[in-house]
């Protein structure tokens, strides 16, 4: 299981799309000749962009092999299973059905979730969000291990940035308290590790 972090526009979705195309590389080129599952929670998936990436991947494979591939672009497109999971309810409902989906599609060897944290950003408490998110990630890990599937998910960079902002705010508050104590007592009687 791999988590991709980054600011908006840094290429996380692009990397997920590239991996979905790469999982289809034929075995004779060292690939998996497998299928991918793309779970879209925030509408970043565009079929036209995936077609471009897939087409380039297939052309590269043909040029390396020196002969036409046994599959067409349309056949390769059918090897990508796209799931619209916008909203917390749709996402959790699909995740509940994921083991059955994998059993019905045993050639799936990559699951890309863009973004795993996005459905959890609004409408629930931090405690609920954390519990649900960790439960989903634990189930994903279990599925990945049982079926030997690579899982790539984009963690919403907003959560990462929020965490960093909270850490920075704590630092400022502690530094302020330290300086007040130092001014009052005139020495370094209290030590903080920053």
pLDDT band at 192 (very low <50, low <70, confident <90, very high): very low
Residue 109 has pLDDT above 50, yes or no: yes
Q: Which two tokens stand for residue 170?
A: 């704590």
β-pair partners for 151: 111
Mean pLDDT over residues 60-65, rounded? Answer: 92
Residue 158 tokens read as: 């907003």
Task: Please give the pLDDT value at position 165.
Answer: 45
Q: Widest CA span of the chain, in angstroms?
A: 81
Would you kindly state where each structural domain of the chain is located, as residue ranges? 2-155, 158-194
- Compute CA distances 149 → 93, 110, 111, 167, 188, whole Å: 20, 5, 7, 34, 54
As a residue count, the chain comes to 194
- Cα–chain center distance at 57: 21
Looking up tokens 């526009």 gives 9
Fold category of 2-155 in CATH: Rossmann fold (3.40.50)
Distance CA 60, CA 12 (A): 22
Position 164 scores a pLDDT of 46
Radius of gyration of the chain measured on its C-alpha atoms: 22
Residue 43: which pLDDT band, with cuts at 50, 70 and 90? confident
């Amino acid at each position: 299981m791999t988590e991709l972090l980054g600011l908006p526009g840094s290429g996380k979705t692009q990397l997920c799309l590239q991996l979905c195309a790469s999982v289809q590389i034929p075995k004779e080129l060292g690939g998996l000749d497998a299928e991918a599952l793309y779970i879209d929670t925030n509408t970043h998936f565009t079929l036209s962009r995936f077609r471009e990436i897939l087409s380039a991947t297939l052309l590269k494979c043909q040029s390396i092999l020196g002969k036409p591939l046994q599959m067409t672009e349309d056949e390769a497109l059918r090897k990508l299973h796209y799931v619209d999971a916008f909203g917390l309810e749709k996402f959790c409902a699909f995740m509940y059905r994921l083991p059955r989906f994998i059993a019905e599609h045993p050639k799936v060897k990559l699951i890309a979730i863009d973004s795993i944290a996005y459905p959890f950003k609004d409408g629930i408490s931090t405690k609920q969000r954390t519990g649900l998110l960790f439960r989903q990630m634990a189930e994903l890990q279990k599925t990945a291990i049982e079926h030997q599937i690579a899982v790539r998910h984009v963690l919403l960079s907003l959560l990462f940035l929020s965490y960093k902002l909270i850490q920075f705010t704590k630092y400022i508050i502690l530094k302020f308290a330290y300086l007040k104590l130092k001014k009052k007592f005139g020495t370094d009687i209290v030590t903080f590790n920053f």
